[in-house]
Structure 1
């Protein structure tokens, strides 16, 4: 099984990509055009939130665990993202906050859950061999 020190980079990249996917889907759903550059404009507060959460929780030590790393990154991403959106004059309304909580929670926690399960299966197979 790979060590956490080797997993943090792919986990951080996956978080980045999933946050960009969230932003792109949202822009497309609202017919905002300019999906690629617009996704970055929409995503930057959430990316900053994720980076802050990674740093505060030292998630690189156990990047794929759902608790506490995944949950703290999810909540930090949404919390800081919404604060930064509000401070910069972007829309922050309750329906958007709820959609962001649900969507980013599903994205950021689901892949961690799947990765953890796959790593456990891999470890069991290695022990049998």
Structure 2
């Protein structure tokens, strides 16, 4: 997980035309994030919201799907930025700590209110 936050500061290049569908989740607290072609949805026990759909950026000099960064905002509040960083787990798979499932991506969602970290897989 530590790499995802550090890599969020990497300069990004455009990755137009990529269609990535992901399902992300985390525990303590439980939360989920669904990224689909035309919609991004976040939910947690405290509530949820839709995010404006955007194409992800990727880290320069890396494979296009190694680090994906979605710079978006709450659909109902365009002045509320949200950043989603997904990083492929090359050396050790992401674990949710609750199951034996190994996930190929680490995921971090950053909003003004909080940061959620967890695991993701392609749908």
Could you tell me the TM-score, scaled by structure 2's length? 0.31
**Structure exhibiting the larger radius of gyration computed from Cα positions:** 1
Higher strand share: 2
More helix by share: 1
TM superposition score normalised by structure 1: 0.30
